[in-house]
Amino acid sequence: MDHTPRYALITGASSGIGERFARHYAALGVPLVLTARREQRLHALAAELRARVPVQVIAADMAEPGAAQALVGQLHDAGLRVRILVNNAGYGLPGRYRERDWFEHARFLRVMIEAWTELTWRLLPELRASGAGRIINVASFAALMPGAAGQTLYAPAKSFMLRLSESLSLENADAGVNVTALCPGFTWSEFHDVTGTRQQMDRLPAWMWLDPDQVVREAIDAVERGRVLVIPGWRYRLAYAVLRHLPDQVLLGLMRRGSRRIRPVD
C-alpha cells in the first residue's frame, strides 16, 4: 500500500480566501503546498501552520508564461503528490476594456484562464490515481450574472471556470474525483484593496458581505459531498434562485445600474 502523503495545493494562498483554505485544511490534518507571488507572507503562514501539518512553500507568479508547468515540475522534483487542488489565484482588473494596455489583459487572462486550466490538466493524472481527488475552483457569483461594466473580463473568466468545472466533474467522477465551482458574492478580504476599489465597495450594505471562513467551510463541505456548484450564504442562493428566471434584458438593466453604482467607469 502506498503511504506517500497526499497534499492540498492551494494557489493564491498568501491572503484572503486562499489563506483561509490553508487554515481550514490544516485544521483537518491535510498537509499543504502553498503557492503565491508573495513568498515572505507564504513562509509566515507556513511557519504558523507547521504546528499542525507538514507545509511546503513554492513561490510562483501564475501570470508568467510557463508558471503552471514549472510549479508541477517543482512538486514532482520534491516528491510531493497532490490529492486536493484549490485553484484560488486571481484578481480583478478595474476600468474600461480599452483603457488598459493589452499586456495587462494578457497577464490577467493567463492567471484567470490559462494557468489554472493547465495546472489542473497536469495534475489530473495523480488526482485520479488517488481515488479520492478533490478540485475546488474559486469562481464568483459574477459567473452566474451578465458581465459588468468596469470589470470587463472578470465575469467571462469566472463563467469559463464554472463551465469547465462542470465538464471536469462529468469526466472524472468515475475515478472518484469531485470538482466544485465556488461562487461567492462579495467576501471580506484584501481583494478590493489590491484592485483599488475598496472605496466603491464600502458603499455596499453590510448584508451583502460574506465571512471568508463561512465561504471556505461551505466549499470544503460541497466538494466532499460531490456538489458541482456552491453559492455560499442564503441571501446569495435566494438571489440566484430569483435572478435566473429573469429575462436577459432585465438582468442587463440591473447590471447597468449596479455597475454605475459601485464601479464607476466614466
Alpha helices in the chain (DSSP H): 16-27, 39-49, 67-77, 102-109, 116-130, 154-172, 191-195, 198-201, 212-225, 234-243, 248-262
99 bridge partner residues? none
Q: Would you give the DSSP letter of residue 87? A: E
Given CA atoms 229, 235, 241, 245 in this order, what sign does their dihedral have? negative
Q: Which residues are part of the catalytic machinery?
A: 154
Q: Read off the C-alpha cell for 17.
A: 480566501
What's the CA gap between 15 and 89, in Å, rounded?
10
What's the CA gap between 5 and 123, in Å, rounded?
15
CA distances from 146 to 114, 153, 163, 185 (A): 22, 11, 15, 14
Q: Is 153 helix (H, G, I), strand (E, B) or coil?
A: coil
What's the CA gap between 132 and 12, in Å, rounded?
23
- The separation between the first and the last C-alpha atoms of the chain, rounded to the nearest angstrom, is 62
Nearest to 143 by CA among 178, 105, 181, 180: 181
